[in-house]
Chains A and B, each alone.
Chain A
Amino acid sequence: MAEQAVAGPTTAGRPDFSRVSWPALARYYRGEFSAATANNLAYRGAVAIWVVTTVIQPLVSIVVWRTVAGPGGQVSGYSSAEFVTYFAITMLVEHLTFIWLMWEFEYRIRTGSMSPLLLRPIHPIHKDVCDNLSYKVIGLLGVVPAMVLLVVGFGGDVSDIGVAQVLAFLLALLLAMALRFVLEWVLALSAFWLTKISALNNLYFSVFLFLGGSFAPLAVLPEAVRAVALVSPFPWMLAFPVEVAMGRRSGADVLVGYGVQLLWLGLALLLLRLVWRRAVRRYSAVGA
């Protein structure tokens, strides 16, 4: 660890993180993860409150779409019971994929707390990944029971969910987590250029609400909107894993979906590299 104490090795005026070895990175992940978990457990009340807020949107969506479908009715191939299942699983995927850093980066840059993160000899994204994973694990303790309650309380239909669907879902979920993390981390980087990020974030979440499938299943959206959604990265971060879990996609359809997820993930990583390089060059600490 001795050489890591030499803070902020730089080449050509930007941080150089290439000297961190894999074992060092693994040690860092273990340490940061347990630190973040200790923090989350200390503030478990705050975590519990955020978990309650994640339940509200799917709950409202269930009520609205059940009313639209009516008892025994169907909307674009979804019955009331299937809407319940769709939004209950959406809640789980939303919890496991969302990140909050697009709100935090503005604060980090405004208060100067970005500087120490940049001075560490390790890319700041690793700290965010650890913090995020820790929060997700702790949050599952609330989200999973809430999901079961939604399904049982509103009479969700889980008859199509078997072992094969769950296994296929897990891979789609992992890819969705990676894709959304990288993409939204790039969105967070916009704080290096903008001093007020709320409008951009609102626009992003508004687009995500429809194209990602969190307001309604893609099948329910108007034809044109669905076409736009499918060529965008959004459904691959939310709707796709949910549809896989519900058995609405199977066989080759699932494999193609994984491929599209990987494609978007590659593009997102490329974008991350590009934007991060420019962002760091642009950064001047508060007070500098």
Chain B
Amino acid sequence: MAGPLLDRVGHDARIVATYISLGVVNLVQYRSDFVLAVVNGLITLVTQLLALAVVFGQTSELGGWSRHDLLVLVGVHFLIGGLIGLVIRPSMETMMEGIRLGTFDFTLVKPADSQLLASVQVVRPPALVDVAIGVGVVVWGVGGRGGALSAGDVALFLLTLLCGTVTIYSFVLALSTMAFWFVRLDNVLAIFQSLFGQAGRWPVTIFPGWLRLLLTFAVPLAFAVTVPSEALTGRLDLATTLGAVALAAVFFAAARWFWFFALRRYTGASA
């Protein structure tokens, strides 16, 4: 029984590898995009550091988070933002454009998992700049806090980071899937992008009750940014960790179900 499954995973892995190498080829073609990504990344970084400086010019802690704790959070925010910009957002934008123009039909006739194809079809390597900045800021923040991280903390961080990425991916996929019904939906991603960019870089714990619930379960920023940051700042408890794993599983299953539900109702642009 393991044979066919392994074959399928191998096949899927080859598809992902092909798209990544296509992305790298594109990068070599448009090298200036990379320089631009560095400049934009640095401007954003300086902006966020200045914002922290202004806030911590007036207080020594924000809802229990110190300056270096928030630095870690800013790093995680960069990291997740980079991962979203690397494949998730460009692929989803291409998919929605394809649904509008009718070219999505070509994706469907390819002999592979349609969700996988739609999700990895565009790889934009310049976003790796944000991932690199994120890693750097996380290291800076952790170093500034002092005290050593145990291997367990790092493992918990990686686990919650993975779960957060899966949750965010599933959320954005489900949002984009609605393009099967509402053709012009690119603006909805703008709301998500704005929420992620503005609200995502502060710990959700400072938001009042109803907003915190919204940012945890409706638009799952809490599990993507705050929870991995908690793992690195010694705040994470077992319940939250299990919650992160469970939420990732639920979001992924729901998004996949919704994907196939939408596909069954999809009639193509020409039909």
A residues within 8 Å of B by Cβ?
Answer: 45-46, 49-50, 52-53, 56-57, 59-60, 63-64, 67-68, 75-76, 196, 198-199, 202-203, 206, 209-210, 215-216, 220-222, 225
Select A56's contact among B32, B39, B195, beta carbons within 8 Å: B195
Q: Residues of B at under 8 Å CB distance from A?
A: 32, 36, 39-40, 43-44, 46-47, 50-51, 53-55, 57-59, 62-63, 184, 187-188, 190-191, 194-195, 198-199, 202, 206-208, 211
Closest 3 CB pairs of A and B: A49-B187, A53-B194, A206-B47
Instruction: Tell me the complex Cα distance, A210–B51, Å.
Output: 8
Closest to A203 in B: B43
Report the separation of the CA atoms of residues A56 and B207 in the bound assembly, to the nearest whole angstrom: 13
With beta carbons under 8 angstroms apart, the residue of B36, B58, B62, B184 that contacts A46 is B184
| B71 CB to nearest chain A CB (Å) | 16
- Given A46-B187, A63-B208, A68-B59, A210-B50 contact (CB < 8 Å): yes
Given contacts A50-B187, A60-B199, contact A68 B62 (CB under 8 A): yes
Q: Which residues on A sit within 8 Å (CB–CB) of B184? A: 45-46
Q: Is the interface of A mostly helix, strand, loop or mixed?
A: helix
Q: In the complex, are the beta carbons of B46 and A206 less than 8 A apart? A: yes
Identify the interface centre among B32, B53, B62, B187: most chain A CB within 10 Å of its CB. Answer: B187
Q: In the bound complex, do residue B54 and residue A220 qualify as a contact, i.e. CB atoms below 8 Å apart?
A: yes
- B194 and A56: CB pair below 8 A? yes
Q: Tell me what chain B mostly uses at the interface: helix, strand, loop, or mixed.
A: helix
Smallest CB-CB separation from B206: which chain A residue?
A: A67
CA distance A63 to B195 in the complex (A): 14
* Shortest distance from the beta carbon of B170 to any chain A beta carbon, whole Å: 21
**Chain B nearest Cβ from A91, distance in angstroms:** 12
Please report the C-alpha to C-alpha distance between residue A52 and residue B189 in the assembled complex, in whole angstroms. Answer: 12
Smallest CB-CB separation from A206: which chain B residue? B47
Q: Is the CB of A63 within 8 A of B58?
A: no
In the complex, which residue of chain B has the Cβ closest to the Cβ of A207?
B47
On chain B, the residues within 8 Å of A198 by CB distance are 36, 40
Indicate if the CB atoms of B187 and A199 lie closer than 8 Å: no
How many angstroms between the C-alpha atoms of A60 and B195 in the bound complex? 9
Q: Select A64's contact among B62, B194, B211, beta carbons within 8 Å.
A: B62
Shortest distance from the beta carbon of B129 to any chain A beta carbon, whole Å: 12
Point out the residues of chain B lying under 8 angstroms from A64, CB to CB. 55, 62, 202, 206
Q: Chain B: which residue is nearest A68 at the CB level? A: B59
Q: A56-B195, A215-B54, A222-B54 are in contact. List 5 more A-B contacts (CB 8 A).
A: A50-B190, A60-B202, A198-B36, A199-B39, A206-B47
Nearest-neighbour CB distance to chain B for A78, whole angstroms, equals 10
Smallest beta-carbon distance B172→chain A, Å: 16
A220 to B195, CA, bound (A): 24
User: Contacts A46-B187, A68-B55, A210-B54 hold; do A56 and B199 have CB atoms under 8 A apart?
Assistant: yes
Residue of A nearest to B208 (CB): A63
